[in-house]
A and B are shown apart, each in its own frame.
Chain A
């Protein structure tokens, strides 16, 4: 375990002030505001951060929660927001060459969810990794 985290979990006393790892809730709030790439990087910092990053609600912020709040149970059932982000939202954003803070249109939400659902369905088949979303990862052929 890296030295920094051991020191701070053991107690931030000794005149050192507040350590970022002292309060998990605050840490979660901070990580919630990161963009996708930064969140992935944060997940590699230490075990504490990694376990926080595994919290699906962090990834919900990155997806289109504000457009479709009722979608949560469905998304969770189909694999969770982190998977939705990695498998669907991130390639779509990249393909459409968009920055993250933007308003998703309902059609975009629906199509992304549909693609995600097909992907989940393929995992149910259990015959190898799902491949229906591979087309999203290919370089644009101009």
Chain B
């Protein structure tokens, strides 16, 4: 996605250098500086004042159109005969070139799209300056009809514009200037009609504009996630499971680690923080059935939201898993724990037997505990610490943690917005490469809900507080856990899983004993394994044990 990569490479423009094109009031509220030379262009050898950026951009564009439309003879005259002074001063150089061209022909009238581009002050904040500018000697364009090149420039340009408008809008939201943000959202929505929203930057931008709109226009601040019954969530989750490999990677990697940790134990107990349809567990049951020495007694405790209509969905899943376990001759017992939030679960509900080996499995659940928690008693520990505390008290043999690899929990809204724009664009790119049609649309809805939650919710409503692996490492170490390295079997299994998936851009990487799955070298999901250290031994842990491989 070329337009977006350009923007991602130059985030400092909206944040660092106050863009000349955003409303002049913004420059005044920031500490006034002397008219300064734009830093990025100075690095390329051009001296342009930041305040002149928009003017120069407009002129360059007109120059391009003029060059495209002028006969080649005149261009060669321009290249060889024109005398231009001081090309590093872009502003005057462009003006002089334009006047040279003007002498022989009048400038063509610009297509309405381009003139719209120039009249919209918020859009052109140096977007043209991101790309490497051509050297002053005019490059004669080849014989493409001018119409075509202008159209594609507008398409690509619209994508770049959208991204810059999104960033500017997010900045307004952060500063509390909701009226400006609102009008910008309306501009973006009209620009969306001119962009291809079927794929690429148009599609992602559409979702983010929608989420920003919910935030800005919702009465009482903090727009809600669209729809959202638990049943719908399960369906979307299932389609997300089928359309792309992230959840399969999570399940198989966690299962491999749990299988290795349970080696030699005859009574094992798995606690699943989010049962959903229980898609993770058939593979573990089958692997336990085939392990040398025979299967253990397996207990599974599945945590899930209570079902509103009286159906005991947890029990139904449990029955299905029990039937599968029975057919492969694995002794199995299931218990369901219905809880609206993970912090409502108390360890006694899990009924852990001290003699059994316990595995705790959390697939994208721990980040929901990073919110402010229930207000009231300031002496109570934060939800994440409370939950990690009771997990530790269970003394699990292994805790598998899979989380999104991105920081969507920074205090500043603009930082969160920027990071999530990059993250979800990459994820949508990877989804585009998968061909399963009906699953893809519903998988996109699943991702859209996450985006809405990250962008438009706040406080305790904002559950999707993703944090990167480094943060989780630190937090879990502080809570008394030590890492277990995922062995090479897990890596091989993940690699093979990816070869089976049709798209070629996925990559598995090993990161200090943890595995990450990403798209084109951008990790999107990280899997890690931990175990609790006994209280007395906290200071004495030296080696990190590598979980041995059990090969079937």
- B238-269 interface code vs A (CB 8 A; 1 in, 0 out): 00011101000000100100000000000000
Tell me what chain A mostly uses at the interface: helix, strand, loop, or mixed: helix
Total residues of chain B contacting the partner, CB 8 A: 42
- On whether A73 and B329 interact (CB within 8 A), knowing A106-B551, A114-B255, A140-B502, the answer reads yes
The listed residue (B252, B290, B436, B439) touching A111 by CB distance below 8 A is B252
Do A142 and B504 have beta carbons less than 8 Å apart? yes
Most buried by A among B287, B496, B500: B500
B285 is an interface residue with CB less than 8 A from chain A: yes
Residues in B with CB closer than 8 Å to A71 are 290, 552
Q: How does the 8 Å CB contact mask read for B480-505 relative to A, with 1 for contact and 0 for none?
A: 00000000010011001101111110
- Which of chain B's residues have a CB closer than 8 A to the CB of A114? 252, 255, 282-283, 286-287
Q: Once the chains are docked, how many angstroms separate the CA of A110 from the CA of B551? A: 9
Q: A73-B328, A132-B242 are in contact. Are A111 and B286 (CB under 8 A)?
A: no
Stretch of A8-16, A39-47, A49-57, A116-124 that contacts chain B:
A116-124
Which partner residue on chain B sits nearest A119 by CB separation? B282
B435 proximal to A (CB < 8 A): yes
Q: Which residues does chain B contribute within 8 Å of A139, judged by CB atoms?
A: 435, 502
Distance of A70 Cα from B293 Cα, bound (Å): 11
Q: Are B435 and A141 in contact (CB under 8 A)?
A: yes
State in angstroms the CA–CA spacing of A106 and B492 once bound together. 10
Q: What is the chain A residue whose CB lies nearest that of B492? A: A107
Query: In the complex, A142→B492 CA distance in Å?
Result: 22
Q: Which residues of B contact A118 (CB under 8 A)?
A: 279, 282-283
Decide if B242 touches A107 in the complex (CB within 8 Å).
Answer: no
Known A-B contacts A107-B489, A141-B433; the reply to A117 vs B499 at CB < 8 A is no
Asked if residues B255 and A138 are in contact (CB atoms below 8 Å), the reply is no
- Determine if B289 and A74 form an interchain contact, defined as CB atoms under 8 angstroms apart: yes
Please provide the chain B residues from 63 to 116 with a CB less than 8 Å away from any CB of chain A in the complex: none
Tell me the residues in window 7-63 of chain A with beta carbons closer than 8 Å to chain B beta carbons. Answer: none
Q: Residue B341 at the A interface, CB < 8 A?
A: no
Using known A-B contacts A108-B496, A132-B279, determine if residue A124 contacts B289 with beta carbons closer than 8 Å.
Answer: no
Q: Which of A118, A125, A135 has the most CB of B within 10 A?
A: A135
B253 → chain A, closest Cβ, in Å? 11
The answer to whether B312 has its CB under 8 Å from any CB of chain A is no
Q: Which residues of B contact A87 (CB under 8 A)?
A: none
On whether the beta carbons of A138 and B327 are closer than 8 Å, the reply is: no
A-side contacts of B255, CB under 8 Å:
114
Whether the Cβ atoms of B500 and A110 lie closer than 8 Å is: no
**Separation of A125 and B158 alpha carbons in the complex (Å):** 47
Contact A74 B290 (CB under 8 A): yes
Q: Please, could you name 24 A-B residue pairs with CB atoms under 8 Å apart, sorted by A?
A: A71-B290, A77-B327, A78-B286, A92-B500, A96-B500, A107-B496, A108-B496, A109-B552, A111-B252, A111-B493, A111-B497, A111-B500, A113-B287, A113-B290, A114-B255, A117-B282, A121-B282, A131-B242, A135-B242, A135-B500, A135-B501, A136-B500, A138-B502, A141-B433
Which residues of chain B have a CB within 8 Å of any CB of chain A?
A: 241-243, 245, 252, 255, 277-279, 282-283, 285-287, 289-290, 292, 320-321, 323-324, 327-329, 433-436, 439, 489, 492-493, 496-497, 499-504, 551-552
Closest 6 CB pairs of A and B: A114-B283, A121-B282, A117-B286, A77-B327, A117-B282, A107-B492
Apart from the given pairs A113-B286, A121-B320, 13 other A-B contacts in the complex at a CB distance below 8 Å: A77-B327, A96-B499, A114-B252, A114-B282, A117-B285, A118-B282, A120-B282, A121-B282, A125-B320, A132-B242, A135-B243, A135-B502, A141-B504
